[in-house]
Amino acid sequence: MKLVKTDEARIGQKAARDVIDLRGNLLFKAGTELSAELLDICKQRTISHLFIEDSGGDTPKSPVDVQAQRESLLKEIDRTFAGLEGNATMTALKDASQRYLTAKLIK
């Protein structure tokens, strides 16, 4: 996934994340292929940047790759939160972080 200026996004690229305007309206979902019309809508809504799937993003990730990335990510999260195991608020934050980041990985 990469972040590009809306002006530099190309027709045919795929949005890597849901695109939401200032008022919280969903304009289109992650995975949607960008069309000239969608890019115009983004510009009208003054969305300056879009998260775009990398060139390899067109190919679905294999389950083995996703699993390996997930394990690596969970280890990183464990390392980041090390030493805070007895803190209930930080444990809840860590759990939420795991849910959020692993969901992003699958997208």
Provide the binding-site residues for another protein, judged by CB under 8 A: 3, 17, 19-24, 45-49, 51, 76, 79-82, 84, 87-90, 92-94, 96-97, 99-101
Report whether 49 contacts 3 (CB < 8 A): yes
The residue (of 11 and 96) whose beta carbon lies closer to another protein is: 96
The residue (of 59 and 106) whose beta carbon lies closer to another protein is: 106
Tokens linked to 97: 């972080």
Shortest Å, Cβ 3 to another protein: 7
Shortest Å, Cβ 14 to another protein: 16
Q: Which residues contact 31 (CB under 8 A, 6 or more apart)?
A: 14, 15, 53, 107
Dihedral angle of Cα 16, 21, 25, 26, to the nearest 10 degrees: -10
Give counts: helices (H), strands (E), the chain: 3, 4
The residue (of 11 and 92) whose beta carbon lies closer to another protein is: 92
The residue (of 10 and 23) whose beta carbon lies closer to another protein is: 23
Shortest Å, Cβ 20 to another protein: 5
